[in-house]
Amino acid sequence: MKKKITDLIKKKNKKKIVSLTAYSKNIASILDNYCDIVLVGDSLGSVLYNYKSTREVSLSMMIEHSKSVRMGIKKALMVVDMPHNTYRNSKEALKNAKKIMLKTKCDAVKLEGGKKIYETVKTLVKNKIPVMGHLGLLPQSDKTFKFKGKKKLERQNIIKDSQLLEKAGVFSVVLECVETSLAKLLTQNLKVPTIGIGASKYCDGQILVFDDLIGLNPMNYRFVKKYANIRNEISKAVSNYSKEVRKIKFPNKNNSY
């Protein structure tokens, strides 16, 4: 059965929400069996294109990958990141969000920020475009990779931003690299679910980049647990293939017409 945003909100304080990223149909079709949310993240910039930051990801790039992911999803909620410089004001955001929704048939869009995007989120929600928020570490604007919530002022600002996003109408908020006690406080105080990435077990759900989870990305991050080492498996398969080709063992009669 296709999940709805109301189903997600009902999980608040009751059942943990499972989320992962996907950038293609084949992967999405697997995640669809286990995830409440599949996010087409602008993390595809670094994961697939080796960009230095997500700021280089374009709207057309997000749309094309989202169209592929859409074909693999039947049950999960599909959320699409709005890339950098596509929601600088409410008018621009509405135009681009409508384009994303129309072309990808996604269920919602995700925007980074708090106070700066308050009016933008209100506009999108007013126009019946569901919005997921994103606080803490903001890859589209932060220049350094640091966890958030250690300093008092920083904590206060994140708390205020979370309240503003909820008031504006978001149905959930991603908390990225947020200090544990702050993540717990936000989760307790917000009526909408929090989805953590490097933000402790106290969030209402968790999200990871799929390539990190399966060990395809050789980098190690503190907030990632590698549940498989697909990089090694791929290496073995390619090694075996190359040996069989050179020894003329592949293709054999079963692989030929």
Look up 112 and say whether it is catalytic: no
96, 188: one domain: yes
| 22 Cβ contact list (under 8 Å, min separation 6) | 28, 31, 38, 39, 40, 69, 72, 210
Give residue 256's domain range.
Answer: 230-257
221, 235: one domain: no
Overall average pLDDT of the 98-102 stretch? 98
216, 234: one domain: no
Q: Are strands 194-197 and 37-40 parallel, antiparallel or unpaired?
A: unpaired
165, 44: one domain: yes
194, 208: one domain: yes
Count up the domains in the chain and report the number.
2
Overall average pLDDT of the 22-41 stretch? 98
Q: Write down the pLDDT at residue 46.
A: 94
Q: Write down the pLDDT at residue 173.
A: 98
Q: Is the pLDDT of residue 118 over 90?
A: yes
Overall average pLDDT of the 160-183 stretch? 98
Question: Is 185:163 a contact under the CB 8 Å cutoff?
Answer: no
How many other C-beta atoms lie within 10 A of the C-beta of residue 230? 15
Q: Which of 166, 176, 179, 244 is catalytic?
A: 176
131, 237: one domain: no
Q: Is the pLDDT of residue 120 over 90?
A: yes
The runs of H, that is alpha helices, within the chain are 5-10, 25-31, 44-49, 59-70, 90-104, 118-126, 152-168, 180-189, 210-213, 230-246
Question: Is 91:106 a contact under the CB 8 Å cutoff?
Answer: no
237, 127: one domain: no
Instruction: Tell me the CA distances in angstroms from 8 to 37, 234, 251, one per residue in order.
Output: 9, 35, 49
Question: Is 112:165 a contact under the CB 8 Å cutoff?
Answer: no
234, 167: one domain: no
The candidate with the shortest Cα–Cα distance to 159, out of 170, 145, 148, 169, is: 148
183, 251: one domain: no
User: How high is the mean pLDDT of the chain?
Assistant: 97
Which helix (H) or strand (E) segment holds residue 131: the answer is strand 131-136
Q: Give SS3 for 228.
A: coil
Q: Is the pLDDT of residue 145 over 90?
A: no
Alpha carbons 18 and 38: distance in angstroms, whole number: 9
Q: Write down the pLDDT at residue 221.
A: 84
Q: Write down the pLDDT at residue 219.
A: 82
Residue 143 confidence class, pLDDT cut points 50, 70, 90: confident
| 44 Cβ contact list (under 8 Å, min separation 6) | 21, 23, 57, 61, 62, 65
Handedness of CA 224, 31, 87, 123 (dihedral sign): negative
37, 97: one domain: yes
The candidate with the shortest Cα–Cα distance to 62, out of 21, 100, 92, is: 100
217, 254: one domain: no
165, 235: one domain: no
Q: Write down the pLDDT at residue 184.
A: 98
Q: Write down the pLDDT at residue 144.
A: 86
Q: Write down the pLDDT at residue 218.
A: 85
Q: Give SS3 for 192.
A: coil
Convert the pLDDT of each residue in 201-233 to its tens digit: 999 999 999 999 999 988 888 899 999 999 999
Overall average pLDDT of the 159-176 stretch? 98
Convert the pLDDT of each residue in 35-76 to its tens digit: 999 999 999 999 999 999 999 999 999 999 999 999 999 999
